[in-house]
Amino acid sequence: MKKILVKKIPLYFLFIATGLLLLIIHQLNNTAPQAKLEIQQAIAPVVESSDKIEQVRLKEYNLTSPLLTAELLSESDNMKELKRSLNLEINQLKMNGTISEASVYVRILNNGHWTSVNSDAQYAPGSVIKIAAFITFLKMSEQNPKMLSREFIAPANINKVPGQTFKTEPMVAGKKYSATELLNRMIVNSDNQATLLINESLDINLFKKLFTDLGIAEPDVQDPNFKMDVSDLSKFLNILYNATYLNKNNSEYALSVLSQSSFSQGIVNGIPHEIKVAHKFGETGNKTEAQLHETAIVYIGNDPYLITIMTKGKNVQRLPEVLSDLSKITYLRMKS
C-alpha cells in the first residue's frame, strides 16, 4: 500500500497535461468575444458589490454590530412595469381631482427588490406611527416582561382625544384595561384613547432611538404633524418581518396583531379576502387637506411583499378608494 501511495507519475503524463492546458487557453483566447465572456462568467465567483447595498446596523455595542436591514440602493428593473402602472393611476387620480398627491413604496421581502413612486414627498404619518409606539412598548417589555400584564384605568376625560373619521366603539371611563388590551385597541382599531394611555408609559428616548436606529430623522414628539416619506414609513414593518429589532416572539406577536386590523376599506379591499395582510392605516389633516395612509405586508404565496401608500386630497372619504386601487394594481402585478 505504501508503494502505491508514493508511486511516481511518469514524465510523459506531465507533458500531456501541460499540452491540454495550453490548448484550452488557446481556444479561450480565440473564442468569439460574447462566448468568451460567457465562459469567464461561468467560472468566475459570484460577488455582490458592497457599494450597491446599504446596511443599517445597531451601533450601541462594543463587540457586535447587529444588522437591522440591508437595502438595495437602486430600484429593481423587473419592477419597472409596476412603477409605470402606479404612475399612470396616480396621474389620473390627480387629473380628476381625487387626490393632490400620492406616493407608493413596494418591496419584495424575501429578496429586497423594490420600487417607489414619488418617494421624496413628505407627509404627516398620522396613526400609522402607532406601529412605532407598539414596537417601543414591546421593546420595553423585553427588559421588563411585567409591562404586558400592567393594568390601566381609563380616565373620566378619556373622550377628549383627537377626532377620528374611521373609528370603533369607545373605551369605558373608569374601566380597567391590561396593556395587551390597550395595544390591541391601539393597533386593531387605531384607538386614540388607548394610544394616549400607552404613550403615557412609553420611554420617549427609546421611542426616538427606534427612528434613529433605522436611519430616520428623530421625530419631534411635540409636533403631531412631523413629516416622513413613504420609504422611511415602510421600515417599521420591514424590521418586524425580519425580526431584527424585537425578539422573534414579539415580532411574531406584533404582526399577528397587525393582521387583525379592522380597517378594510384600503389595501385589503384591493386583494382577495383570503390572503393574510398585516397592516396599519393612519389619517390626519385639516379642513383644506386630508391625508390617509396605510402600510402593509401582503402574504402572497412564498413571496410576501410590503406596500406603503401615502395620500393627500380634499375629501378624506374618497381616499380609501385610492388605497384600494393602488393596492389592486400592485397585487395583480406581483401575482403575475
Residue 174 confidence (pLDDT): 86
What stretches of the chain adopt beta strand conformation (E)?
53-57, 67-72, 101-108, 114-117, 151-153, 176-178, 277-285, 290-298, 305-313
**pLDDT one-digit tens code per residue, 279-300:** 999 999 888 899 999 999 999 9
CA 263 from chain center: how many Å? 19
Its domain, for residue 109, covers 55-144+205-335
pTM of the model as a whole? 0.81
**CB proximity list for 17: less than 8 A, separation 6 or greater:** none
Residue 1 confidence (pLDDT): 43
Given a cut of 90, whether residue 185 has pLDDT beyond it is yes
Residue 169 confidence (pLDDT): 73
Residue 31 confidence (pLDDT): 45
Look-up: residue for cell 380634499? 314
Q: Is residue 11 part of a domain?
A: yes
Residue 156 confidence (pLDDT): 76
Cell digits of residue 172: 369605558
**Statement to judge: residues 239 and 331 lie in one domain:** yes
**Statement to judge: residues 234 and 309 lie in one domain:** yes
**Statement to judge: residues 230 and 294 lie in one domain:** yes
CA proximity to 170, closest of 189, 144, 183, 151:
189
CA distances to 55, 189, 239, 271, 305 from 301, rounded to whole Å, are 27, 27, 20, 13, 10
- The answer to whether 130 and 187 have CB atoms below 8 angstroms apart is yes
Q: Using 50, 70 and 90 to split pLDDT, how confident is the model at 26?
A: low
Residue 159 confidence (pLDDT): 54
More confident residue, 297 or 4: 297
**Statement to judge: residues 216 and 309 lie in one domain:** yes
Residue 68 confidence (pLDDT): 86
Tell me, what CATH number does 62's domain have? 3.40.710.10
**pLDDT one-digit tens code per residue, 114-138:** 999 999 999 999 999 999 999 999 9
Residue 317 confidence (pLDDT): 92
**pLDDT one-digit tens code per residue, 53-102:** 888 888 888 888 888 888 888 999 999 999 999 999 999 999 999 999 99
Q: Is residue 187 part of a domain?
A: no
Q: Is residue 87 part of a domain?
A: yes
**Statement to judge: residues 123 and 227 lie in one domain:** yes
Given a cut of 70, whether residue 33 has pLDDT beyond it is no
d(CA 118, CA 104): 7
**Statement to judge: residues 113 and 13 lie in one domain:** no
- The answer to whether 292 and 325 have CB atoms below 8 angstroms apart is no
Per the structure, the count of domains in the chain is 2
d(CA 87, CA 288): 25
CA proximity to 213, closest of 53, 56, 55:
56
Q: Using 50, 70 and 90 to split pLDDT, how confident is the model at 154?
A: confident
Across 43-52, 207-216, 254-263, least confident range: 43-52
Given a cut of 50, whether residue 48 has pLDDT beyond it is no
Mean per-residue pLDDT over the chain, rounded: 85
